[in-house]
Structure 1
Amino acid sequence: MRLIRTPRAAALCAAALLLTAACGSSGSGGSSATGLHPPALKAPAKLGRTEGQVNLIAWAGYVEDGSNDPHADWVSGFEKRTGCQVRSKVAASSDEMVKLMKTGAYDAVSASGDASLRLIASGDAAPVNTGLVPNYKDVFDGLKNGPWNSVDGRMYGIPHGRGANLLMYNTAKVTPAPTSWSAVFDDAARYKGHVTAYDSPIYIADAALYLKAHRPELGIKNPYALDRKQFDAAVALLKRQNGYVGEYWSDYLKEVSSFKSGDSVVGTTWQVIANLAASEGAKVKALVPKEGSTGWSDTWMVSSKAEHPNCAYKWLDWIVSPKVNAQVAEYFGEAPANSRACAETADKNFCTTYHAADEGYWKKIAFWNTPIEQCLDGRRDVTCVPYAEWVRAWTGIKG
């Protein structure tokens, strides 16, 4: 691992409101209950001649041409094979990705679940003909037809990889070893000033996931589908937690440093950060607690206004091909999407460490999704709190 994801910062209120406005009041979505009504866009039936260029928006580490690291280059091979010259822009947040896609200047984007529904609802992302992406057949089934990348059984992209938000703790200072998220919520007072949490409004879902298990009377089914009472309970829990938080992290290097120094002893992390911290001498372990965890799954989506759609489809197939998908996964620090990629990793234990083929593990993970007023859990008798309000609430939580 040489590089990991940049912070996935919060979406701006206006962008979140756009998603709400783009959705109807009933109907079906990725699960038939979301109420999402995207524009009637069609995927291509066949590909034509490549256009000689493709413009991409991506997370840092996804589109490498050797300029950052001479050992990380999967762009040159693509350009040589297809004749499509890659022009890429690194985005620092999902919000930036959404804004850039709206310009029509980009052909494809590596969207996370907190952006993909917005792109689908606004018509900025088109459905994808997976039959034109030969390597799609080898993508793990658990990444296909997710509520964050499909609507009514139609895929709106090609899965790239996935990861879980884990509980990390200092093995010398947090005893006994925690098995529950209570270590950072109801029991956080034990570690006052040394608790750390992910700095994003989407972290409200982590509190909701905890309440789902510990306050069943709230009736939470989906941590991204919260009615007013459920949402207020999650916000209240996070406001209480705030009194014990030493710092909210968005820079992974700061979290590694904080655990090494002892400033942080327990909090949310990613597997790649836990690996890096341990390799630098921090006494840490990370796990999925008994309540499960939230997580992220990225999807390569094609712009509905793509000027180079044929090259875009060639890129989608290339980036999910076994060898390239393995290279990206190891460089970035995530589980690959292609089931055949595990045979191509340099570290033969990589896929075991990242649980790439362990679908039982991923069933414990509630992948990021974008909250909308039409409750994603299928309820029709209430209105759920849209992401714009999550953004506002997060500011209040942090004071």
Structure 2
Amino acid sequence: MTSRTTGRASRAQLPRTLAVTSALALTGGLAACSTGSDDAGSDAPSDQTLTVAVYAGSWGESFTEAFVEPFEEETGATVELVPGGPADWLTALRSTQGGTPAYDVVAFTPNVVPSAVSAGVVAELDTERIAEFDQLNTVLAEQSNVDGTQYGVPLTVGSTGIAYRTDKVTEPPTAWSDLLDPQYCGHVAVSPLTFNTGVEFLAGLIDEAGGTITDPDDVDAAFEQLETLADCASSFPADGTSVETALANGDAWIAAHWDGRAFVQQNQGEPIGYSYPESGSVGALTSLFVTEGTEQEDLAYEFLNYVASSDYQPVFSEGTWYAASNDENVYPEQFSQQIASGEGAYDDFVWVDYEAITPQLPDLQARWQQIFG
């Protein structure tokens, strides 16, 4: 079983980026506002409700403990969490566009951000209303900066690698292509390309072969690899919780998955191991966005001050085993020894250039559907 310490070393040695990330300049004027998180909710009426779309499972539980509970206690406002996944949340926001949005704040991953921005369902972020924005890691903030405009507040970062059942897989996998090994046929979870883990798995296969996801020939070669899984995939999880469930109940023995969520299962005593592929893990990130047209804009910004704060982020990290975005975070000694974080920690991550490939995703998903039905 791969230890967390070993995993940390693997991530630190990631060799290159998958595609040239657009040179997106962070929005200027990131001066902190005069009120910090200590009094972030002082003006919030106690009868206000904020609707926030975030993940379920251990992620959602930690989010509640770290941010929701102190926010509710200190402001008197109520936070209603809506569990699910980014693709579903984007669909819901599109369906309510022009009226009251389905959510006031939504968690999106980089694969969804270009579509959310082009659809006009997320608002430009007024960074001056986020007291600690200038403390947030610039590499992470860039992932929700589109054409020079900042939209999201980065929260949590990890990497996508390979989770597996230690009671079924005798040799820990070391490569993305290990998921294609015939010995796992009938026990492989393959996520669709409507879910960012599916795209990250595809990107990992391409990167392992020395290609880029923006090169059609390299993409074709990866789909030829996926075709070998046509009769071997046992489940098609479309969100993180579904990946966890497939591994926990034995529907899958191996899957592309996020490191932090796999470690939480491992810490809870489940037979889950985790490997960082030798060719490089793919960066995984979740950022929070204020929705366009929300009637709770002020309350949303009050809440995002908690999300961005080094006072609360470490609590979230301890529960999820993900580092968080504020470079000033102080973590417990064990966490700091095992998980890379802070300035410079993510410079060598493999990042998918979603701005470049998002226009192709419908066609790529159609090809995926032809294989897996």
TM-score, length-scaled by structure 2: 0.73
Q: How far apart are 1:51 and its partner, in Å? A: 6.0
Instruction: Give the counterpart of 1:355 among 333, 336, 340.
Output: 340
**Structure 2 unmatched runs, 5+:** 1-20, 25-29, 36-41
Instruction: Give the counterpart of 1:254 among 246, 251, 264.
Output: 246
Q: Distance in 2 between matches of 1:294 and 1:63?
A: 21
Aligned position for 2:350: 365
Instruction: Give the counterpart of 1:245 among 220, 229, 233.
Output: 233
Q: Distance in 1 between matches of 2:158 and 2:343?
A: 12
Aligned position for 1:339: 327
Q: Are 1:136 and 2:133 an aligned pair?
A: yes
Aligned position for 1:14: none
Matched ranges for 1:1-399 at <5 A: 31=22, 52=45, 53=48, 55-60=50-55, 72=65, 74-82=67-75, 85-102=77-94, 103=96, 104-105=100-101, 106-146=103-143, 149-169=144-164, 177-185=172-180, 188-201=181-194, 202=196, 203-214=198-209, 216=210, 220-221=211-212, 223=213, 225=214, 227=216, 229-249=217-237, 250-258=242-250, 264-279=252-267, 284-343=272-331, 348-357=333-342, 359-360=344-345, 363-366=348-351, 370=354, 375=356, 386-399=360-373
The one-character-per-residue Cα deviations of 1:220-264 (angstroms, maximum 9, x if unpaired) are 43x3x353x443333222121233434444241331332xxxx75
Which amino acid in structure 2 is aligned with residue 122 of structure 1? Answer: A
1:204–1:76 distance in 2 versus 1, CA, 3 Å: closer
**Structure 1 unmatched runs, 5+:** 1-29, 34-42, 377-383
1:197–1:64 distance in 2 versus 1, CA, 3 Å: closer
Q: How far apart are 1:97 and its partner, in Å? A: 1.5
Question: The residue matched to 1:322 in structure 2 has which SS?
Answer: coil
Q: Is the 8 A contact 2:157 2:325 kept in 1?
A: yes
Question: The residue matched to 1:318 in structure 2 has which SS?
Answer: helix
The one-character-per-residue Cα deviations of 1:7-55 (angstroms, maximum 9, x if unpaired) are xxxxxxxxxxxxxxxxxxxxxxx8259xxxxxxxxx9x98999563353
Aligned position for 2:4: none
Question: The residue matched to 1:395 in structure 2 has which SS?
Answer: helix
Q: Is the 8 A contact 1:57 1:97 kept in 2?
A: no
Q: Is the 8 A contact 2:258 2:284 kept in 1?
A: no
Q: Is the 8 A contact 2:164 2:272 kept in 1?
A: yes
Q: Is the 8 A contact 1:51 1:311 kept in 2?
A: yes
Q: Distance in 2 between matches of 1:178 and 1:100?
A: 37
Q: How far apart are 1:198 and its partner, in Å? A: 3.5
Q: How far apart are 1:133 and its partner, in Å? A: 0.8
Question: The residue matched to 1:159 in structure 2 has which SS?
Answer: strand
Question: The residue matched to 2:156 in structure 1 has which SS?
Answer: strand
Question: The residue matched to 1:299 in structure 2 has which SS?
Answer: strand
Q: Distance in 2 between matches of 1:305 and 1:62?
A: 29
Aligned-residue CA RMSD in angstroms?
3.8
1:301–1:245 distance in 2 versus 1, CA, 3 Å: same
